[in-house]
Amino acid sequence: MSEIKHNTPNLDTDAGFALHKTVVLVGMMGAGKTAVGRALAARLGVPFLDSDAEIESAANMTIPEIFERDGEPFFRAKESQVIGRLLDEEKGILSTGGGAFLAEHNRATITERGVSVWLRADLEVLWNRVKHKDTRPLLRTADPYATLRGLYEQRVPVYAQADLIAESDGVTSIENMVNRVVDALLTRPDVLERK
């Protein structure tokens, strides 16, 4: 396991929670899966895993390099493998890449072995978060806004199949989003309880 699992410093932990299932964060690029997932794991005092980071460290390449050298189908196969493996490990927070929940077999694995939470955000919010970053190969197009909008329209109905939704409308900080995810998780005592 890479060092990312314990990479949760300088964030507040509340020891008063018991987590019973791995929480799998899904949603569009820019929804905050990685940033919120890391802070949520720190809050609950559980391991943090990010499927993209795991793929990058196993391949010793960045996501854009993997897409460029091996293609998207290769990346998707690795993504499925990594998600299956991470769901077998200690319970924690698993942040996926934005495309992971689109594959039916990944949805089945996630639903069977964890609980999925859709971090929902408006297209404009997502765009403002991703537009200055060059780390997402799918947005390396002539019109990345139109590409993001197309993906958004295609993917939203699938994300809506997640077990829980955390709404990020009007939320301007990672910590507030963590609060919303915790609130959503506490509606499911089979997933999260206060000790």
Ligand X SMILES: O=C(O)C1=C[C@@H](OP(=O)(O)O)[C@@H](O)[C@H](O)C1
Under the rule (CB under 6 A), what is the footprint of ligand X?
29, 33-34, 52, 63, 97-99, 136-138
In the complex, minimum distance from the CB of residue 134 to ligand X, in angstroms, rounded to a whole number: 11
Report yes or no: 162 and 106 within 8 Å, Cβ to Cβ: no
Q: To which H or E segment does residue 25 belong?
A: strand 22-26
Closest CA to 129 of 36, 62, 50, 38: 36
* Distance separating alpha carbons of residues 170 and 98, to the nearest angstrom: 21
Known binding residue 98? Answer is yes
Q: Verify binding: residue 8, Mg ion, rule CB under 5 A.
A: no
Q: Verify binding: residue 120, ligand ADP, rule CB under 6 A.
A: no
Which one of residues 35, 59, 123, 138 is an interface residue with ligand ADP (CB under 6 A)?
A: 35
In the complex, minimum distance from the CB of residue 39 to ligand X, in angstroms, rounded to a whole number: 15
Closest CA to 37 of 195, 132, 177, 193: 177
Residue closer to Mg ion by CB (options 97, 109) is: 97
Report yes or no: 163 and 116 within 8 Å, Cβ to Cβ: yes
Cα first-last separation, the chain: 29
Residue with structure tokens 């809506």? 160
Q: Verify binding: residue 33, ligand ADP, rule CB under 6 A.
A: yes
Which one of residues 46, 82, 168, 191 is an interface residue with ligand ADP (CB under 6 A)?
A: 168
Contact track, Mg ion, 13-42, x by CB under 5 A: --------------------xx--------
* Distance separating alpha carbons of residues 75 and 81, to the nearest angstrom: 10
- Where does this chain bind Mg ion (CB under 5 A)? 33-34
- Where does this chain bind ligand ADP (CB under 6 A)? 29-36, 129, 168, 171-174, 177
